[in-house]
Structure 1
Amino acid sequence: MADTSDTRNPAQIEADIKRRRDVLAETLDEIGVRVHPKTIVGDAKAKVVSTLDHTVGRAYVGVNRVVGDVKAQFVDEEGAPRLERVVPVALVVVGVVGLLAFGARRRKR
């Protein structure tokens, strides 16, 4: 059998009910904001943008590192080109471009 003895008076019970009703209304308002489609879409967009920014930032750092490493292969500490490395690469590039041009010319005939 449940204990039904309550020492509160009716005014205290009504005040408690009102307080609980206010807390419940506030909670329902918060839930309504959280499940609103605009809120969900906004949160999803923010997450995608954050992930994309992080990914782009990491890619930038990686590319920057690779470019720096390649540059270090062709330029000395003073900024002067390393001809012993630049000339062979330039010859290879000219050769490849020449072969591509020659191949394209043969295909046209």
Structure 2
Amino acid sequence: MARNIDAIQRDIERNRTQLARTLDELAERANPKSLADDAKSQAADRLKDPQVQAILGVCAAAVVGLIVAKVVSNRKRGAEIERIRELIENVSK
């Protein structure tokens, strides 16, 4: 049975409206601000995870440990250089 013109026009209009909604949704999803907001919220959610917090804590402790080791090493090296200078001065006198 053939459909009448009014039914076909209603179908076309309904499909056009659905397509417009879909395009609007895709445009919103592809908006850089929306993408940035989504990334921020995902990052914030991940930072609330206890396992992630533990990993970040270990990483922070490791960085602090490396900094402390470097400072101690530099102080020792400075003291050694100063001792060498004193020895050179004593030899040259």
- Name the TM tier (shorter chain): 0.5 to 0.7
Question: What amino acid sits opposite 2:27 in the alignment?
Answer: G
1:29 aligns with 2:24: yes
Structure 1 consecutive aligned stretches of length 4 or more whose deviation exceeds 3 Å: none
Normalized against structure 1, the TM-score is what? 0.46
Task: Name which structure has the greater RCO, CA cutoff 8 Å, separation 6+.
Answer: 1
Greater Cα radius of gyration, structure 1 or 2: 1
Residues 1-109 of structure 1 correspond to what in structure 2 (within 5 A)?
A: 7-54=2-49, 55-56=52-53, 58=54
Consecutive unaligned residues of structure 1, counting only runs of 5 or more, are: 1-5, 63-103
- Residues 33-87 of structure 1 show CA distances to partners (whole Å, capped at 9, x for unaligned) of 111111100011111112222222x46xx9xxxxxxxxxxxxxxxxxxxxxxxxx
What is the distance in 2 between the residues matched to 1:50 and 1:10? 52
The code of the aligned residue for 2:11 comes to D
- Coordinate RMSD, CA, aligned: 2.8
**What's the % identity of the aligned pairs?**
37
State the distance in 2 between where 1:9 and 1:49 align: 55
Corresponding residue pairs, total: 61
Question: Unpaired segments of 5 or more residues in structure 2?
Answer: 59-78, 87-93
User: Normalising by structure 2, what TM-score?
Assistant: 0.53
Flag the structure with higher helix content: 2
Q: Distance in 1 between matches of 2:28 and 2:34?
A: 7
